[in-house]
Structure 1
Amino acid sequence: MVNDKLNLQSLNIPEEKREELLRLFPEVRTEGGQIDFDRLRLALGDMVDTGKERYGLNWPGKSACFKAIQTPSMGTLLPAPEESVNFDTTENLIIEGDNLEALKLLQKSYIGKVKMIYIDPPYNTGNDFIYPDNYSESLQTYLEYTGQTGEEGKRFSSNTDTDGRFHSKWLNMMYPRLYLARDLLRDDGVIFISIDDGEVAHLREVLSELFGEENFIVNVVWQKKFSPQANAVGFSDSHDHILVVAKNKEVWNPNLLARSEEADARFENTDNDPRGPWSSGDFTISLTGGQRGNQFMKTGVSQNIYEIITPSGRILTPPKGRCWGSTPEKFAQLVADNRIWFGESGNNVPRIKRFRSEVQDGIVPSTWWPHTESGHNQEAKQELNATLGDAAGTFDTPKPVRLIKRMLDIATKNEDKEIILDFFAGSGTTAHAVIKQNGSDNGNRLFILVQLPELIPESSPARRFGFETIADITKERVRRVINKLNDEDGNEKNQDRGFRVFKLAESNFTPWDGSVDQSPEDISLQMEMHIEHVRQGRIDQDILYEILLKSGFPLSIPVETLQVDGKTVYSIHDGIMLVCLDRNLSMPSVQAIVDRLPERVVFLDEGFAGNDALKVNAKEACKLKNIVFKVV
């Protein structure tokens, strides 16, 4: 019998992996539809490593990370239009909640759709960080922390450098989040992670395990400070790391960085060459062991050591230990093609001309990002001060917009609606950078931010301005950035300068609790709850977005409200799915909805009011038109 109930869990990752494995190796399927590992070993042959000792990173609690990953979320994301900007039209998202739960809930809708991830996670410096250490109760812990369950609010976890599980607790926090984040990336996607010296080695190992060592791109060193500041051991701590890893290095296609005006200024046209501006480079190369064994050699002597006569008659030979950059024959061709420059007097050492029209459109990014090109922490604080005033003091080490912009320059393009995700959003720098970048190159990039509503200390200046949580500051910063840009240019390009706010909460529907006593009284109470199983206080919009999320539609998808036979019906993606949450359905209204020929319809179970005949007839009406019938 087909289950008509809409699955209200987040993506079941183990089930997805099992089905993919059985698709690739159908011969390992057991009679019960499980996996026979002995057959799998036979199928893979010598590729299976059966040794007990192998290289890898292990720590106490790692097995619990997999339980966290494999446990589906029963939460939901409630829309908050009153805190949003242009809710009905924007495709940007700001999610307020624990990022582990949020990443689970995003799996169905956004798996394989994110082009770039940037995160600036807690660096594990010995200060408190507040992410749950008990994965089996992560949603419940979050609800208690935010006071949504009536329990007294509490901190998730603390991690001091005197804790014996100092590194382990940090790894337990990071591992499942990175695992889930990887699945959200497109095949050509990439993740940038800021980190300091304290955990960079461990993070590198985790990324190698999750993404594959072959997909590691580079460790960027970012100059976060521009003035020396000695630490306890006498060195100036002036850098952070940014680890860059691709989902699939083979298909990742990074952009070149634009040449600076200073770099372009090096190209001139001193001799009025019709090919345009050029710069000159050294025409000699080092006579190393590599050259001694190559095609330049003739009878033990480099063919590239020969005399050159300048136009003024000066005779030149290469300096000791070097040779000319080409053979005599090739050099003659270069001279004939006016690609050798002897200076205005014709008496200088030859240099080879390189035309701007023939070089790359940009420059290859390096692994050293100086503050002059990518900003610094002080610049980031100034940006925050300019936007938020005294409330900016809440953040000790914010990241500058120029730093994120450099990542966007490398990893994204302006033509498509590429999604940029930041699930440690902090002050909202990533959204600021995306909006600003779109404004500068007329791009269509979208952002998804996730930020825990971490309580701001009562003594903080931010409290005087009405900010209670970090998430409040995140949202307000993005609002002010949008308003400022709109004031400057009037949004003449009609770009997406808005965001939809969603907040993590329990599902709109009370689940069947199998843990209660199975006495007739308890079972009767459970059944009564499921006659009207929508939680009190939840409205149709809350229910609608849970249905969208659990059905695999993005939270940004346009929704059209229709009136069909006197019933409110929500049309998703031009009618592919129709949702009716009316509590008083009739067969004529059901038939009118079915006659619109959607691919799927979803009704509220309460709408049938216990009328099993009406429900069966509704299902049969859908079956006749090949429409998927679901109830919640």
Structure 2
Amino acid sequence: MGKEKLDLQSPDLVNKNFEKIAVLFPNCITESADGKVIDFDLLKQELNHAVVEGNKERYRLEWPGKREAIVAANLPSTKTLRPVIEDSLDFDNTENIYIEGDNLEVLKLLQESYLGKIKMIYIDPPYNTGNDLVYRDNFSIDEAGYKDLSGQKDEYNKRLVVNPETAGRYHSDWLSMMYARLKLARNLLNEEGVILVSIDDNEVDNARKLCDEIFGETNFQGIFVINSTPNARDYGHIGKMHEYVLFYSKDHQLCTTNQLPVLDKNFKYSDDIGGFNIHPLYNSNEAFHSQNRPNLYFPFFVDPLKRIEKDFFEIYLEAGPGRVKVYPPKSVKNNVQFVWRWGKEKAKLNLNKEIIGYKTGDNEFRIVQKMRHTTKIIRSLLTDKKYSSRRGTAEVEELFGAKIFSFPKPLSLLHDFIIVGTNENDIVLDFFAGSGTTAHAVMAANSEELGKRKFILVQLPESLAEQGNTISDNEGKSYCNLSEFAISRLTKAAKKIKEEVSVEVDCGFRVYRLDESNMQDVYYKPQDYKQDTLELFADNVKPDRTPDDLLAQVMLDCGLPLSLKIERKEINGKQVFKIAENSLFACFDNGIDEEFAKIIAKEEPLRIVFKDSGFKDDTAKVNVKQLLKQLSPETEMKVI
């Protein structure tokens, strides 16, 4: 059926002409700050046989809003993270972190505490399908304007907005959103670190170009193709079965990864050491041959009368009576002379131990290596059904007793990435955490290997109802937003893991929530206040903030990881936080005086922090500082 209402206006001929050009020359349609436009320089070139002079060409990824994205990444943040102890699990002892809030702001806050400390980042960002959501990074509109656009006015003030394909800046807005976050994320990776980015057809090309720019083309390790929908999604002209994961390193020369274990591997042969299969010792790559690797081209000698067992025979590096000379074969295709994978020295150490002669015909032999591997390098095609999205749905359903969340990433996918990308003490970051699969997989991997990997998850409190998901489990508990649901999932997963394994594994997590600074606005904008109003801020800490809130901000300002051990002590009647032994002491009580300073000095903390308004008086503030210098010269005193 057509439109029910008349347009009551003449045809828009410009739009009609635009559509005609788009059909004839789709490559000439681009995006600008004002939406989709025609690249007239490119159109001129399409209509000319000679080269048309225009803007200087260069190879780079460009889009409207790129400079603003760089600014967005570089702008400092005055926000903070507030602990939510009641939602946490084993807050005092765990080293895992769950953060609720806009990941752009959170990544900025983590820059000092986690600079170069993350071994692996995995993210599953919005795929930009037209119906999914994009984070707010448009700093050119004011807060009220943003609320109107998003239709969201809750207390978080950070709802997502839809990015339909009809929008003029469809790809550009997605690129801007991703650029700022990936730029900040790269700083957090250590030199051996890796990042994996899930994506589908909508933005896979842009995502790769974006990562090439941020991480460097030389750090591109490959693309995984995931059989996420074995039964296919039948729409359009292709039944879609797969998604992608881009794999980049921080530094390809220093990057380290592990191989995946092969469960129940069958070996054809065995010896005193154990089972093995055999593999030819020659290198079948034509790039390595006798002309450029002469040190790897030499003969072995097989004694056909000295059988080790069955088809295996003793080998030597010297000729002898009756011994058969064996060289590497030549390639069938180009007749290139192959060479061995091992040199003479290594071969000498392993003769008749790990390399042996293998009979292939009448008086014909091949030199083979015993292969005992129970691991293998991860493959680019991940086709096993354990990687399907339906498996992820079933795993969540098992925890909650209800189909409450559709198509989260399956545990096996994240588990295998974690095994490949990390070792037992590494940190894993996921700043598009969704339902929390990454954290669940970290806990599961640790329980298998007695590992001590730690996770940091970041997720915006995205409304579940607006995604059309069921928001109640089988116990009748309702979940208003995604982070609330993820916290519940991790709590249930932790309980299940502890019931299934007897080993001690850190399955707890500290919950933090992004919020405005703990400090009064005058702390940052003194120019906005007159002298007669300053007395209102004698205590520059906001009245609703707790000592735990202040401690989190101090730890971030001091560049200390939020996972460090926190002890609470009472010293001279005041509450003192003790972080990582004597790395940091903090006391936010009032009435700090000389007597307290004398007692605290005996602990010899490296750094101690007080509230500026917490001293008994101005004289006490000066005296405390002097006493600490005298009694504990290594202690640095700071105030907030």
TM-score norm. by structure 1 comes to 0.77
Determine what percentage of the aligned residue pairs are the same residue: 34
CA spacing shift, 1:348–1:158, aligned 2, 3 Å:
farther
Structure 1's unaligned 5+ residue stretches are: 1-50, 297-301
CA distance in 1, matches of 2:564, 2:621: 29
Once the two structures are superposed, the pairs formed by residues 89-488 of structure 1 within 5 Å of their partners are 89-135=93-139, 147-148=154-155, 155-233=159-237, 235-261=238-264, 264-269=265-270, 277-281=275-279, 339-342=356-359, 352-357=367-372, 360=373, 362-372=375-385, 375-390=387-402, 392-393=404-405, 395=406, 397-414=407-424, 416=425, 418-457=426-465, 460-463=469-472, 465-488=477-500
For the pair 1:619 / 2:629, whether they are aligned, the reply is no
For 1:278-303, what per-residue CA distance to the aligned partner results, in whole angstroms no more than 9, with x for missing partners? 4345799989898797899xxxxx99
Contact 1:576 1:598 in 2 (8 A): yes
CA distance in 2, matches of 1:444, 1:85: 17
The one of 607, 612, 635 equivalent to 1:605 is 612
For 1:68-100, what per-residue CA distance to the aligned partner results, in whole angstroms no more than 9, with x for missing partners? 122111111111111111111000011011111
CA distance in 2, matches of 1:232, 1:586: 74
CA distance in 1, matches of 2:423, 2:561: 21
For 1:157-185, what per-residue CA distance to the aligned partner results, in whole angstroms no more than 9, with x for missing partners? 22000001000100111011111111111
1:512 partner SS: helix
CA spacing shift, 1:66–1:229, aligned 2, 3 Å:
closer
CA spacing shift, 1:605–1:218, aligned 2, 3 Å:
same
Query: Which has the larger share of strand?
Result: 2
CA distance in 1, matches of 2:460, 2:286: 57
For 1:491-524, what per-residue CA distance to the aligned partner results, in whole angstroms no more than 9, with x for missing partners? x322111111111111111122777986xxx514
CA spacing shift, 1:348–1:90, aligned 2, 3 Å:
farther
Q: Deviation at 1:106? A: 1.1
Aligned residues: 547
For 1:467-489, what per-residue CA distance to the aligned partner results, in whole angstroms no more than 9, with x for missing partners? 00000111111111111111223
Match of 1:527 in 2: 534
Equivalent residue letter for 1:482: A
Once the two structures are superposed, the pairs formed by residues 585-596 of structure 1 within 5 Å of their partners are 585-596=592-603
Moved more, 218-227 or 594-603: 594-603
CA distance in 2, matches of 1:146, 1:601: 40
Contact 2:569 2:575 in 1 (8 A): yes
Query: Which has the larger share of helix?
Result: 1
Moved more, 236-245 or 522-531: 522-531
Contact 1:267 1:356 in 2 (8 A): no
Contact 2:288 2:339 in 1 (8 A): no
Q: Deviation at 1:275? A: 6.6
2:521 partner SS: coil
Moved more, 317-326 or 221-230: 317-326
Moved more, 333-342 or 159-168: 333-342
CA spacing shift, 1:426–1:146, aligned 2, 3 Å:
farther
CA spacing shift, 1:570–1:391, aligned 2, 3 Å:
same
Q: Deviation at 1:391? A: 5.1
For 1:341-379, what per-residue CA distance to the aligned partner results, in whole angstroms no more than 9, with x for missing partners? 337xx769755543134xx5632222222124x511111
Contact 1:124 1:170 in 2 (8 A): yes
Contact 1:513 1:526 in 2 (8 A): no
1:622 partner SS: helix
CA spacing shift, 1:630–1:223, aligned 2, 3 Å:
same
Q: Deviation at 1:461? A: 2.2
Contact 2:281 2:368 in 1 (8 A): no
CA distance in 2, matches of 1:95, 1:139: 23
CA spacing shift, 1:229–1:76, aligned 2, 3 Å:
closer
Structure 2's unaligned 5+ residue stretches are: 1-54, 312-328
The one of 554, 561, 568 equivalent to 1:547 is 554
CA distance in 2, matches of 1:392, 1:510: 41
Equivalent residue letter for 2:444: K
1:461 partner SS: coil
CA spacing shift, 1:147–1:619, aligned 2, 3 Å:
farther
CA spacing shift, 1:320–1:616, aligned 2, 3 Å:
closer
CA spacing shift, 1:368–1:511, aligned 2, 3 Å:
same
Q: Deviation at 1:323? A: 9.4
CA distance in 2, matches of 1:111, 1:133: 23
For 1:225-278, what per-residue CA distance to the aligned partner results, in whole angstroms no more than 9, with x for missing partners? 223444302x221111111111111111111222342xx314324xxx667544
CA distance in 2, matches of 1:564, 1:606: 19
CA distance in 2, matches of 1:252, 1:320: 36
CA distance in 2, matches of 1:183, 1:460: 35
CA spacing shift, 1:444–1:77, aligned 2, 3 Å:
same
For 1:354-409, what per-residue CA distance to the aligned partner results, in whole angstroms no more than 9, with x for missing partners? 3134xx5632222222124x51111111111111233533x3x3211111111112
The one of 36, 58, 62 equivalent to 1:58 is 62
Match of 1:561 in 2: 568
Equivalent residue letter for 2:277: S
CA spacing shift, 1:187–1:309, aligned 2, 3 Å:
closer
The one of 577, 582, 598 equivalent to 1:570 is 577
Match of 1:4 in 2: none
CA spacing shift, 1:565–1:468, aligned 2, 3 Å:
same
Q: Deviation at 1:155? A: 3.5
CA distance in 2, matches of 1:71, 1:206: 20
Equivalent residue letter for 1:106: L
